Amino acid sequence: MVIVKVGGGKGLNLEGLAEDVARLDEGVLIVHGANAWRDELAERLGVRLEVLTSASGYASVLSDEPLMELMLMAYAGLRNKRLVEALMRRGVRAVGLTGLDGAVIRGRRNAAIRAREGERIVLKRDLSGKPREVNAALLRMLLAAGYTPVLTVPIADENGFAVNSENDEVVALLQETFRARCVVHLIEAAGFLADRSDPASAIASLSRDELARLEAEAPGRFRRKLRAILRTLEAGPVWVAIADGRAPHPLEGALSGKGTVIQ
């Protein structure tokens, strides 16, 4: 089995990804983001997104009710169904699900976020949570019947409410459950860049120790992604690829070692 995390940027090649999935002779779990669609909808609808920086240095958007409505439109709607469509047109029996559907991903709502406001630390309560549990029976049933699950947020909290969560953490939880042979992260870059201002600086390979050192130095949201990848690696024998999702055949390239391989 392969788990594929598709980033939320508009530059990613969904058509090429769909072709690659159609050629694979093994089970695939897909998890996708939709940040670009969310932000575009927010601008069109005049919704202001509030960005928080946690006390530990992680940046995130405040998950209030207007944001949840945007997410349901962008993640569960536009992005999910366009990806399902691309897969279906190539003969892949794709099933689009949020973590809320069938409680496929359940979690616990965050009590509060300790956020920085200037020199102060304030508590912010929002609609976000941590993924804790996978409805593995549902996903295994779909995979055994030849379907390809296409998953995204929101997830279900302990009371069944929709809450925002980090898709990278969902991927780590899925790996802990399914022990895929490979986890692929498709992004809008050639791999993990040694210099984020230099698109040609992709690192070919990283060890877990090297990744841990980079995670400690990484800024904001990217730091959260690296932390989730480290958790993925701790789940058991697996290799992780960070590869260019804009490539003509992004998944094929990642599985052949293009981009950054982490073991």
What are the tens digits of pLDDT across the range 43-100?
999 999 888 877 766 677 889 999 999 999 999 999 999 999 999 999 999 999 999 9
Label residue 125 by pLDDT band (50, 70, 90): confident
Domain residue ranges of the chain, discontinuous segments joined by +: 2-35+63-107+129-262
Q: In angstroms, rounded to a whole number, what is the distance separating the alpha carbons of residues 84 and 80?
A: 6
* CATH topology assigned to domain 2-35+63-107+129-262: Carbamate kinase (3.40.1160)
Kindly tell me if the per-residue pLDDT of 21 is higher than 80. yes
Q: In angstroms, rounded to a whole number, what is the distance separating the alpha carbons of residues 235 and 174?
A: 10
State pTM to two decimals: 0.93
Label residue 220 by pLDDT band (50, 70, 90): low
Q: 205-206 and 260-262 as β-strands: parallel, antiparallel, unpaired?
A: parallel
Mean pLDDT, the chain, whole residue set: 93
Question: Is the omega angle on the peptide bond into residue 154 within 30 degrees of 0, that is, cis?
Answer: yes
Q: Identify the weakest region by mean pLDDT among 53-62, 183-192, 235-244.
A: 53-62
192 contacts: CB under 8 Å, gap ≥ 6? 202, 203, 206, 214, 242, 259, 260, 262
